[in-house]
């Protein structure tokens, strides 16, 4: 009879120890999850800062490289001003770099659900008729996120006064340099 009490006490203490270990492990999982969440937020913040630095460097290049500056002003004024393949390549590559910064900022939700800064950047990106022409013929296919592309399309349609999917007159010789 005494052995039954000892066996029962041993089983109870083993069950209690197992419960304590389970609680300890669950606590460790919770702590690890918090650390992973914090690391993820830090990585997203670092990516947003890196993108901002990249965008600053891209703009600085426009200000310090007179050839690039001239090409951009010519292209933003009228795409037909880009006479050589090198000028078209330079212009398209520059705009694509800025587009990539915008897409990265969107993907990391730089501003959460607040789209005002994005809308302002898109407004600047589509400010001239030439810039809208570039977006329609070349730039649009760089926007894979449908929510962001819809936002850019809406601004395009507001500024251009016609739907983005309306066919162009077909006379454009301005095509994506990557497709040549």
Q: Where are the beta strands (DSSP E) in the chain?
A: none
Q: What pLDDT was estimated at residue 172?
A: 67
- The alpha-helical segments, DSSP class H, found in 65-84 are 66-77
Q: Mean pLDDT of residues grouped by 10 in the chain (180 residues)?
A: 84 93 94 93 86 88 91 91 91 91 86 83 91 90 91 93 72 74
Q: Torsions phi, psi of 65, nearest 5?
A: -105, 105
Half-sphere exposure of 53 (CA within 13 A, CB side): 6
Task: Say if residue 64 is exposed, middle or buried (CB neighbours under 10 Å; 0-12, 13-18, 19+).
Answer: exposed
| Whole-number Å distance between alpha carbons of 93 and 105 | 18
The confidence score (pLDDT) of residue 171 equals 60
3-state secondary structure 85-123: HHHHHHHHHHHHHHHHHHHHHHHCCCCCCCCHHHHHHHH
Say what the pTM is. 0.72
Q: What is the pLDDT at residue 165?
A: 78
CB atoms within 10 A of CB 50: 12
- C-alpha 172/C-alpha 116 separation (Å) is 32
pLDDT the model gives residue 1: 61
CA–CA separation, 71 and 86 (whole Å): 10
- What local confidence, expressed as pLDDT, does residue 170 receive? 57
Tokens of 88: 């078209």
CA distance 90 to 86: 6
């Amino acid at each position: 009879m005494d052995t039954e009490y000892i066996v029962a006490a041993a089983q109870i203490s083993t069950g209690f120890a197992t419960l304590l270990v389970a609680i300890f492990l669950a606590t460790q999982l919770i702590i690890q999850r918090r650390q992973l969440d914090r690391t993820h937020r830090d990585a997203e913040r670092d990516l947003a800062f890196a993108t901002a630095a990249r965008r600053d460097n891209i703009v600085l290049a426009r200000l310090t490289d007179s050839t690039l500056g001239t090409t951009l002003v010519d292209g933003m004024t009228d795409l037909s001003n880009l006479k050589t393949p090198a000028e078209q390549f330079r212009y398209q590559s520059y705009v694509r770099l800025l587009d990539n910064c915008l897409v990265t900022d969107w993907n990391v939700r730089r501003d959460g659900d607040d789209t005002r800064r994005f809308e302002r950047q898109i407004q600047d990106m589509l400010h001239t008729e030439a810039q809208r022409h570039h977006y329609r013929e070349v730039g649009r296919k760089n926007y894979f996120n449908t929510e962001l592309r819809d936002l850019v399309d809406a601004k395009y349609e507001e500024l251009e006064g016609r739907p983005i999917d309306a066919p162009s007159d077909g006379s454009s010789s301005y095509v994506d340099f990557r497709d040549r």
